Amino acid sequence: MAHRGNRALCPENTLASFSQAVRDGADILETDVHLSADDEFICIHDGTVDRTTNGSGAIAELTLKEIKALRALDPAGQETQETIPTLAEVAAQLPPKVALALELKTDRFLEPEVCRRFADALRRSGIYARSFALSFNLPRLQSLQREAEDMPIGWISMSWLRPDRAVELIGPFWPIVYLNPGYVKQAHRRGMFVCPLDPKPEKRLGHYLKIGCDAVISDNPAVTRAALDRLMREE
């Protein structure tokens, strides 16, 4: 799973970053979703544009036109020609066999109407069946699933040691699978898909394979894919 695309080589959460991740062999693209002042779904991690663009201000207070006038910064902090994409733009670029993981970054997803529009946008784009939602905030996920019952949801946890939430996917902070050696088996018994939260997973890939994790997340999918392929050839 490509974490904000390939954010090691490209401006994160941009079309260039997602394209690079696909070339690197990512099976899933992960991105983040906020709403602009005019209620457009915007793919950006932070609640402001300050860190990742040449602009400043809160996403919720900027219109789509204002956001599109900004330029994304590369990993070295240099301005590029990349812009901040909308959900529709990311969906239009998504290759047929690649899935999309969407982290819900705002409490606007507690609003039923926002959740309905979000699900409808994915359906119109033709990628609904290949999409799932993620969040550290369980109520946001539950709100979305009330409006889109068949969309898988995934809860990300920094400290909870047991996979005991009613979700289809679970993302434990990576030390948890060491603190609870039975974590993945417990999750699988509940029918959950497991992906540790570990954006630089290379040192632990062998362990993740051994305990049966279903996916890994990566800031640099090219490096992770190569390491994972080597390990799998050795098995």
pLDDT tens for each residue of 73-112: 999 999 999 999 999 999 999 999 999 999 999 999 999 9
pLDDT digit string, tens, across residues 111-155: 999 999 999 999 999 999 999 999 999 999 999 999 999 999 999
Note the pTM of the prediction, 2 decimals.
Answer: 0.97
Contact criterion met (CB below 8 Å) for 177 and 213: yes
